[in-house]
Chain A
Amino acid sequence: MKRRTFLKAGLVASSAAANCVRTDREAPKGTLRVGAGSDRYNTAPGRFTLTTSRPNAHVGEPPARPNNRFEARPWLFESWTHEGEGAYVAHLRPGVLFHDGTAFTADTFITSARQFIATRDFIGLDPASLRRVDDGSVRFRSKTGSALMVDNMTHPSACLFLPRDQAGRKPIGTGPYRMVRYEPQRVLEVERFDGYWGGQSKQPRVMYRFLADPQTRLLALRASEVDIVSDVVPEMLLSIEKNDPGVTVLRSRPIRYAALFCNLHGAPPFHTLRDLRVRRALALAIDREALARVMYMGQAVPARGVLPGWMFNLGDEFPRGFGMDTAQATRLLDDAGWTRGADGMRARDGQRLRLRMVSAFPNASSVKPMPEMLAQMFSTIGVATEIVEVEDEQVYYSAYADRGQADLFLELAGNANADPTFLLYNAFHTATPWPSYRFHAPGAEVDARLDAARHGTVREEIVAHVREAHRLIVDKHVAVVPLLSVPAFVLTRPGVAINMFENVDWIDFGDATIGA
């Protein structure tokens, strides 16, 4: 590492240039400090997320948690069985205590589930169906008869708390940590709960500091004022050099997808991609190796689909995806009647082949500069691209996505749910509750597959339907053009070790070890 002169650092006063790690600000004895993003906790009863999502402080716990194949594994439910048509019997884990000493029994589960699970309508729990079988087991039913309800209960918003009116201020959960102090937009502090059924965490206290600006989070890490940065946005990776002494970059297996969603049902002038041949040509014109080299510190890999192979045991024979084959792409466009003009750009009966690409969900800076690279790749096969970069999520949806006002929608997102059908159903089914995805639903053939998966009772059968639906969506209908599979990132000070997990919400930072 070249020695950065002080003057240059002073002159440029950059974050990365300052590689002298400050040690005199070690954590006050025994408190792990985590730099989280901006504070978006909600303390309203119906939409309660305090301590549960981004960051998840492990104060409350869900009935089940995702294992390393994102299948639901027992947590507060010791076991559960689906008796058909959405009826379930679940046996609660014995010896579980709430932080105030109340025992976790059938009765407390029922009242807590009514307040904290029944209000999440994507889970679909029928509050009236909750019945006490005996002190340690309960019976309940899914409103839609779904066999995957418990899988949906692995979402952080399904964490259970003691149902008291002031839940909004100080939630009492069953988790390894008890909430100590919450100062909105500044800090959430938790301490170890010794009566925890799952044994003691390593860190006695954890402090989550809300630092809204990504660059400030990184600087706090370099200045040793936080030990871990849990909320990592791609823009931060640019300020970290390959072997940067001040920051350790931890990465999970690839889980998120960077992909181009095609507008299959666009009204003119965004109806060009109704033609499968054009969609297929675009998919074949992309050099995914080049994208992988430029983006996300080279840690992403070319993607074949929107769901990674290791998830739900999907295996590797899922969509073949698309390699780079410009010759085939050119043939497809010629077949589709888009002839090349003098300047090499294609047109058909006077109409130039010009696509609008809107970038991106969640924001433009998380996928920069992919749009410009893709535009150049498309221009080599004669397709002109108008790029619209939008940073604000609401404008992305209300001005573009929800109204299908573009041909291609660039997204960086991923599935965080143990319900195998969750992503494909909401993104590609014609009856999706999210308005913007109606434009990407291939139609009946895929709907049938997804419905079959949703109504399936045996997990292997459900996964098989999902696998087939995924293949139809990508290979056959090219409703989405997968680009990259991107790992989740966590940044730490040198010497801090945590056990990584693909969904950052389920990483237990309390178990981190601070090295020498």
Chain B
Amino acid sequence: MVKPLASPNAGHLKVEGLTVSVGGPGPTLLEDVSFDLPPGNRLALLGTSGSGKSVTASALLRLLRPPLVVTSGRVLVDDVDLYGLDGRSMREHRGRSLFMIFQSPGTALNPCTNILTQVRRAAERREPSRAAALTIAAQALDAVGLNLRQGLQFPFELSGGMQQRVLVAMALALEPRVLLADEPTTGLDSLAQREVLRALEVMLERTGASLLFITHDLRAANVLCRNAMVLDRGRLVAKGPLSDFLTGQHGPAAHALARSAAEADR
């Protein structure tokens, strides 16, 4: 029997008028993006590639790289505006209140450290003592279906799917209040996708974190989320239950997404 992790303390993510442009006066990549993710809820952020999904994810975590810069807007986690914090306190929030799983499994893990150590370092954000962190890490790996032997291996010795699940295990060990998942299933075969989604499901159950699922794959989004919003050329163009998008309402961008999801099914 696996002991449930800490009590759910899901965070409330509110994004108000987020605008990102290239080097201030330059062209805008995101324009006035606002949405609300109540604690414990799951929301999908849909959009074709180039619509600004990843920029949004990076912006939420203040990981935008120059020359991209946030020109206006606020990102609130439990009513704390992340863009108002200094470096040190922002560091406190990263991981604990807001965490992100990257898309590219191959390069997202430290190539020279074994998996268990990397997950343990994530656990240490929550449990400073090394021994306790180690058990949390082992449990997290087990929760995502990875045994101890795999834990002692290095990233280059694991498949893409397994590496993605390691990231989920990190999130599990970390117990963030809000989890951002940036295209976690893209580029994986369907079997690996299912394993990753199931791992995410386990993680969300255990930690009760709220989820922002960023993808262009409606089907994968449908597995975890009920509601979704569509991003097209940097603007939110539609919000509502996921099923509507599947049936093609809500305008051209949503329709294009629905069609690509349909083709994937054939």
**Taking the complex as a whole, does A directly touch B, i.e. does some CB pair lie under 8 Å apart?**
no
Binding site for A on B (CB under 8 A): none
